[in-house]
Structure 1
Amino acid sequence: MNTHTFEIRDDFYMDGEKIKIISGGMHYFRIPWQYWRDRLEKLKALGCNTVETYVAWNVHEPKEGQFCFEGMYDIKKFIELAGELGLWVIVRPSPFICAEWEFGGLPAWLLSKESIRLRTNTEPFLSLVERYYQELFQILTPLQLPYGGPIIMMQIENEYGYYGNDVNYMITLKSSMEKNGAIVPFVTSDGPTKQTLMDGGIPGVLPTGNFGSRTRERFQIMKECIGDKPLMCMEFWIGWFDAWECGKHNTSDLEENKKDLTDMLELGHVNFYMFHGGTNFGFMNGANFYDRLEPDVTSYDYDAILTENGELTKKYYEFQKIIGTYTTLPKVNFTTDIKKCAYGTLAINRKVSLFSVLDDISKEVVSPCTLTMEQLGQNYGYILYRTKLHRGTHIKKCRILGAGDRAILFAEEQQVGIRYNLELEQEYDFEVPKEEVTLDILMENMGRVNFGLRLEEQAKGIKKGVAFDGMLHCNWSHYTLPLDNVDQIDFNKSYKVGTPSFYEFELDIKEACDTFLALNGWGKGCVFVNGENIGRFWERGPQKRLYIPAPFLKVGRNQIIVFETDGKIGENISLEAEPDLG
């Protein structure tokens, strides 16, 4: 076993010698595991000596007390692979990660705990973190540098100075990590202001900064706070993320990026955020809430150094030139053969309405009042609320109270309105076909907020109820729809135009390649490829095509299922060779 020492003094030292950390961020849980080696090889060829990753609690404990470290979530395999390639690893295993990831990485089931206070030195939150750490650190502890592994640093919490100032909470987290085996140096990371560095800091732990511009100014502020300690930008934001309806794919100013990178390498150390962004597969995109909810798109391309599907960019080559003036660039052979294909246009093979298969993929739960997803043990996806309404044919002043995030209303399976975001609690009138009707409300969880002070308000579905003309309506049936069982859909049942429906396509291929799904003319929904949820689509963009990695396909026949909620159906779908992020 080759053991080394890593120390934080006036600088970073490896075995007593000064080193410069040139790191790139990539999240194993956003990348098919079959492509980890490719992405890490490209990181090394850039000139980086380190890879950084968050650890997402919600993928590792998807249900309370049930842990998962397999497939895309096999963090042990990812870290060992980095070590095999000669890379060091910075691990950020805080309970909360932000990361534009659903609920900032916190498990949604935390919200089923009455009166829980998140990210504070309180129970039951700390006990649940401790139980998680007991599992996680069985993996992380032996992979630390003193034991022959590649992990050189760990982060305590994440940008806590933007959230709170409970120093006892930070101390408790550090103690828990140490108790479970952490022995490498700790860091914190916060915005580069004196207040955030102070509020998010902990005595004896190195603060690092997160920013994307004005490096010399930011480092000077940090220097005044940390004194004779190394300066590091833990998140050099070299791009940005996209939200639905934001208008266009966000990109950075490359010349400004280059100037900031030069300054960082001259003055200190850097971690690119992101070297490679990857994809928010499934329902795992996060959201922000400032004036209104802003859910993130499926792609996490981020205008990163590698594209969403792992290709080298102009930014890669320009950064490589700069890094090459500070270190010797290694010779790296890229060992993964990755191809892109346009498989062409596919016609609908079979289709069936959600209302026809509701009892096949969900079980009715009856309650006088509306229940949230979390109260029903559901984390992600959709939930359908059903009731009998006897208020005449003109329904007045409908309000959906305490709801998140998007509602589609149906009377006798005919759409009578869509309410989204701030519209939900606004009064709304609509017509129904007869005096007494079955009213269905299909709610979509568009992604829980991952930043700011609204974390504890992220219950999804309908929390407070539905009111008509100032009166709260009671007696509801609930159907949870996480859509983790699309194999149970019976396409032999009936289809009705204009209703939420499942559409099946078949793809026969001789070679599995990366491809991009275009849904021209389709409204809103999500897509499953051979049972894998590849994410959401929405005609409002900016993202127009969904990435399908080759490992999700197989030689021979493949099944693609599109779930569309708004009744807007294109003539077909197509599989293209290039992305379209808007």
Structure 2
Amino acid sequence: MAELQTAADGFLLDGEPFRIISGALHYFRVHPAHWQDRLRKARGMGLNTVDTYIPWNLHERTRGTLDLAGGLDLPRFLDLAAAEDLHVLLRPGPYICAEWEGGGLPSWLLAEPGMRLRTTDPHYLAAVDGYFGMLLPRLAPHLSTRGGPVIAVQVENEYGAYGDDRGYLEHLAELLRRQGVDVPLFTCDQPGDLARGSLPGVLATANFGSGAARNLALLRAHQQQGPLMVTEFWNGWFDRWGGVHTTRPAADAAAELDTVLSAGASVSFYMFHGGTNFGFTSGANDKHTYRATVTSYDYDAPLTEAGDPTPKYAAFREVIARHAPVPDTPLPAPSKKLTVLDVRLPQSVPLLAAAELLGHAVPGPRPLTMEELGQDFGFVLYSADLPAAGPVLLEAEGVADRAQVFVAGQPAGVLERESHHRALAFTSPAAGARLDLLVENQGRVNYGRGIHDRKGVLGQVRANGRPLPRWTSRPLDLADLAPLPFGRTDTPPVGPAFHRGVLALEEVADTYLDLTGWTKGNAWANGFHLGRYWSRGPQNRLYVPGPVLRAGDNDIVVLELHATTRAAVDLRDTPDLGPTQE
């Protein structure tokens, strides 16, 4: 591969003028069996580069242990990009935003009460130094200066929207250089944040989705020489639970793209292919009200969640062809999809009854946060005894993010962060009646000061004004469902329960799990965690990558937190991301 350099008015690649035409493609949001397909389609749209974030919270879930296996095999992804003749812009953070859980910062950082994220706090920098010290040597062979595809590396991510600790950015740039990163460095910020987020001697780039002429002028006013680069051209947007599916007309986005390219600027689409927030990885935003992001990261991008071309693919390829060479290949065809209706889930097991098989209870004088329990994703089950029979006003200092309350095993209500609910009234049937709070982490905040987002029950829980003094806190990360003792039931249980069935297939292909009639929870296919569902929408079906299925019997498990009207699910051949804004 070739080396990238910056000149007064653009990029040079091995000394020749070069324009970066890139698109974001997050390997961690795509099943690894699909990486090559998505990269090949990027090349087919006319891209010469792809960019990817690196999620620290997946690669170092346990401090001091680096994971580059399976779907986290970034070196393999980089090799595949090179094989498709694509360069790579690497965006290692450590903070990435990305509508990703915690902006990619590992939850164990928050186990330390005084931790100051994204600053020169020595404790935070020690963690970053340790992580980069493990990660970057593994990626060094993939730098373009050593024959690999990585032509540039980003320093932090939109830091100007968060802080003004110049020493922090300088530390990161020096750390990258010290770890052998000898390709160009760059920062990215929204145009109004360029002064706070940029570094002398490091290329500044801009992020925006519209107003290209105005925003490129702001970038040029800030940085009078060097390439013009739009690191995030927002061609779509993400969705939140309880909202609508956000779309942007292809013609509108294509016209803005043409303005960018006509100005001689380089560009990277955010997103080229969004993919999926599998498992518990979707993030959240909190601008005075907490809003959790949905499982799909379709993003109304040129490729759908299943990798099929949208009208934007053709529209963008047409615009790119006016400014740069585009491969003479036909538009990719949609992949085959499966439809299988009425897949029965006849076996079940109540969660509260099986909780002791899924996590060990930790006693204490108060509920412990997820971070204190050493837990990143999932649920915590908190239990205590009520002191007396009769009316109870239960008050929690904080719940992050949603607590289902049970008294003597019966549902008593929900405390929900999004609705600012912290109190609940009910009747205790007897002294010593068991109180359970099943608390779900719906996604750590990924943007702004809210990233200091600890999960679980925060602070004391009071009954009629008095703190309950003795608690057990049981982490349920649901990484392994094998211990669950499923049994056949005639009527699906009400309340949190796992439901299981077997799907027999003669062939495999992508499909969408339709959970019509179900309320809220999570779903798995052959142990692969597909993500969250919620009847409030907008998303109504979960994407199931074909590679997680197999010819023969397939294990389908659904954790329903409330109740279902049918003990069955459907597989559909089309997505349903919900209604769009009129």
Identify the match of residue 274 of structure 2 among 249, 253, 277.
277
| Structure 2 equivalent of residue 191 of structure 1 | 190
| TM-superposed deviation, 1:224 | 0.6
1:174 is aligned to 2:170 = no
| Structure 2 equivalent of residue 91 of structure 1 | 90
For residues 320-348 of structure 1, what are the alpha-carbon distances to aligned partners after superposition, in whole Å with 9 as ceiling and x for unaligned?
11111112211458999942111222112
Identify the match of residue 523 of structure 1 among 519, 524, 527.
519
Q: For 1:439-478, what aligned pairs fall within 5 Å after superposition?
A: 439-456=435-452, 458-478=453-473
C-alpha separation in 2, matches of 1:394 and 1:80? 64
The share of aligned pairs that are identical, in percent, is 39
For residues 485-542 of structure 1, what are the alpha-carbon distances to aligned partners after superposition, in whole Å with 9 as ceiling and x for unaligned?
1111111499983221000011111111101001111111001111111100000000
The 3-state SS of whatever aligns with 2:398 is: strand
Identify the match of residue 559 of structure 1 among 555, 559, 564.
555
Contact kept, 8 Å, 1:393 with 1:433, in 2: the verdict is yes
C-alpha separation in 2, matches of 1:8 and 1:90? 18
| C-alpha spacing 1:343/1:175, structure 2 compared with 1 (3 Å) | same
C-alpha separation in 2, matches of 1:234 and 1:3? 20
| Structure 1 equivalent of residue 572 of structure 2 | 576
TM-score by length of 1: 0.96
1:208 is aligned to 2:205 = yes
Q: For 1:97-116, what aligned pairs fall within 5 Å after superposition?
A: 97-116=96-115
Contact kept, 8 Å, 1:518 with 1:573, in 2: the verdict is yes
| C-alpha spacing 1:73/1:335, structure 2 compared with 1 (3 Å) | farther
Identify the match of residue 485 of structure 2 among 481, 486, 490.
490
C-alpha separation in 1, matches of 2:313 and 2:334? 19
| C-alpha spacing 1:428/1:557, structure 2 compared with 1 (3 Å) | same
| Structure 2 equivalent of residue 58 of structure 1 | 57
C-alpha separation in 1, matches of 2:423 and 2:108? 31
C-alpha separation in 2, matches of 1:568 and 1:418? 17
Contact kept, 8 Å, 2:538 with 2:577, in 1: the verdict is yes
Q: For 1:405-420, what aligned pairs fall within 5 Å after superposition?
A: 405-420=401-416
Q: For 1:72-83, what aligned pairs fall within 5 Å after superposition?
A: 72-83=71-82
| TM-superposed deviation, 1:399 | 1.4
C-alpha separation in 2, matches of 1:478 and 1:115? 23
The 3-state SS of whatever aligns with 1:486 is: coil
The 3-state SS of whatever aligns with 2:570 is: strand
| TM-superposed deviation, 1:571 | 3.7
1:345 is aligned to 2:342 = yes
TM-score by length of 2: 0.96
| Structure 2 equivalent of residue 330 of structure 1 | 327
C-alpha separation in 2, matches of 1:286 and 1:483? 18
The 3-state SS of whatever aligns with 1:340 is: coil
The 3-state SS of whatever aligns with 2:317 is: helix
Q: For 1:159-170, what aligned pairs fall within 5 Å after superposition?
A: 159-170=158-169
C-alpha separation in 2, matches of 1:103 and 1:569? 34
C-alpha separation in 2, matches of 1:498 and 1:134? 49
Figure out how many residues of one structure are paired with residues of the other and give that number: 576
The 3-state SS of whatever aligns with 1:138 is: helix
Q: For 1:125-274, what aligned pairs fall within 5 Å after superposition?
A: 125-193=124-192, 196-246=193-243, 248-267=244-263, 268-274=265-271
C-alpha separation in 1, matches of 2:6 and 2:57? 31
C-alpha separation in 1, matches of 2:196 and 2:573? 47
Bigger drift between 97-106 and 5-14 goes to 5-14
Q: For 1:335-374, what aligned pairs fall within 5 Å after superposition?
A: 338-374=335-371
Contact kept, 8 Å, 2:388 with 2:430, in 1: the verdict is no
The 3-state SS of whatever aligns with 1:488 is: coil
RMSD: 1.7
C-alpha separation in 2, matches of 1:4 and 1:380? 40
Q: For 1:379-390, what aligned pairs fall within 5 Å after superposition?
A: 379-390=376-387
For residues 16-49 of structure 1, what are the alpha-carbon distances to aligned partners after superposition, in whole Å with 9 as ceiling and x for unaligned?
1111111011100000011011111111110110
C-alpha separation in 1, matches of 2:370 and 2:304? 34
User: Which ranges in structure 2 are unaligned for 5 or more consecutive residues?
Assistant: none
The 3-state SS of whatever aligns with 1:487 is: coil
Q: Which amino acid aligns with 2:272?
A: F
C-alpha separation in 1, matches of 2:515 and 2:418? 27
C-alpha separation in 1, matches of 2:27 and 2:514? 26
C-alpha separation in 2, matches of 1:242 and 1:103? 17
The 3-state SS of whatever aligns with 2:271 is: strand
The 3-state SS of whatever aligns with 1:376 is: coil
Q: Which amino acid aligns with 2:309?
A: L
| C-alpha spacing 1:178/1:569, structure 2 compared with 1 (3 Å) | farther
C-alpha separation in 2, matches of 1:470 and 1:178? 56
The 3-state SS of whatever aligns with 2:383 is: strand
Q: Which amino acid aligns with 1:364?
A: A
Bigger drift between 358-367 and 20-29 goes to 358-367
C-alpha separation in 2, matches of 1:222 and 1:76? 33
| Structure 1 equivalent of residue 69 of structure 2 | 70
| TM-superposed deviation, 1:422 | 4.8
Bigger drift between 567-576 and 78-87 goes to 567-576
Q: Which amino acid aligns with 1:570?
A: R
Q: For 1:118-129, what aligned pairs fall within 5 Å after superposition?
A: 118-129=117-128
| C-alpha spacing 1:334/1:315, structure 2 compared with 1 (3 Å) | closer
For residues 217-259 of structure 1, what are the alpha-carbon distances to aligned partners after superposition, in whole Å with 9 as ceiling and x for unaligned?
101111110002211110000000000001x210013232122
C-alpha separation in 1, matches of 2:93 and 2:424? 43
Contact kept, 8 Å, 2:308 with 2:334, in 1: the verdict is no
C-alpha separation in 1, matches of 2:7 and 2:118? 27
C-alpha separation in 2, matches of 1:563 and 1:430? 26
Contact kept, 8 Å, 2:4 with 2:152, in 1: the verdict is no
C-alpha separation in 2, matches of 1:114 and 1:184? 37
For residues 408-449 of structure 1, what are the alpha-carbon distances to aligned partners after superposition, in whole Å with 9 as ceiling and x for unaligned?
001111101012115555432123434441111100000000
Contact kept, 8 Å, 1:277 with 1:302, in 2: the verdict is yes
Bigger drift between 546-555 and 560-569 goes to 560-569
Q: Which amino acid aligns with 2:486?
A: F
C-alpha separation in 1, matches of 2:315 and 2:503? 39
Identify the match of residue 508 of structure 1 among 487, 497, 504.
504
The 3-state SS of whatever aligns with 2:315 is: helix
The 3-state SS of whatever aligns with 2:191 is: coil
Q: For 1:416-435, what aligned pairs fall within 5 Å after superposition?
A: 416-423=412-419, 426-435=422-431
| TM-superposed deviation, 1:123 | 1.3
Q: Which amino acid aligns with 2:65?
A: Q
| TM-superposed deviation, 1:462 | 0.7
For residues 345-364 of structure 1, what are the alpha-carbon distances to aligned partners after superposition, in whole Å with 9 as ceiling and x for unaligned?
21123111112211111112
Contact kept, 8 Å, 2:398 with 2:422, in 1: the verdict is no
| C-alpha spacing 1:316/1:337, structure 2 compared with 1 (3 Å) | closer
